[in-house]
Amino acid sequence: KAGVTQTPRYLIKTRGQQVTLSCSPISGHRSVSWYQQTPGQGLQFLFEYFSETQRNKGNFPGRFSGRQFSNSRSEMNVSTLELGDSALYLCASSRTSGDSQYFGPGTRLTVL
C-alpha cells in the first residue's frame, strides 16, 4: 500500500506570494492533518480535515487555510508569505479521526 505523498517536495517563494501544497493520503484513510516544523518552534499542528470538514485547528493566523476533497486528498494554502513561514510542512493521514497517523515526507518551503 502506497504511503502518504506530498507535492511538491521543495518550493521557493518570495515574501507576499501565496503557495498551495498538496497531500494524498494512504488509500482508505479519511483524515488528513497538517503540521509545520521549524527549528525554533518544532512540530506544530496546523489543522485536521475529516470527510471534507475541518475538525481541529491549531494556533496559526488566518493566512493558513486548507481544504479536503471528496477523495480525501487535501491541500493547504498560505497567503501573503512571510520569511517566518519557511518550514517543513508535513501531512499525516489516518483511517479515522483519532486513529494512528502516518506522515508523508513533507514539503520544504523556503521564503526569500
Nearer to other proteins, 59 or 70 (CB): 59
Q: Is residue 88 a contact residue for other proteins (CB under 8 A)?
A: yes
Q: How far is the CB of 48 from other proteins (least distance, A)?
A: 5
User: Using CB under 8 A, which of the segments 13-21, 47-55, 61-69, 77-85 binds other proteins?
Assistant: 47-55
The C-alpha atoms of residue 69 and residue 51 are separated, in whole angstroms, by 8
Q: Is residue 64 a contact residue for other proteins (CB under 8 A)?
A: no
- Interface residue with other proteins among 19, 21, 24, 31 (CB under 8 A) is 31
Q: How far is the CB of 16 from other proteins (least distance, A)?
A: 27
The C-alpha atoms of residue 77 and residue 70 are separated, in whole angstroms, by 18
Q: Is residue 68 a contact residue for other proteins (CB under 8 A)?
A: no
- In three-state secondary structure terms, 39 is coil
The C-alpha atoms of residue 3 and residue 13 are separated, in whole angstroms, by 27
For residue 33, give the nearest of 102, 108, 109, 105 by alpha carbon: 102
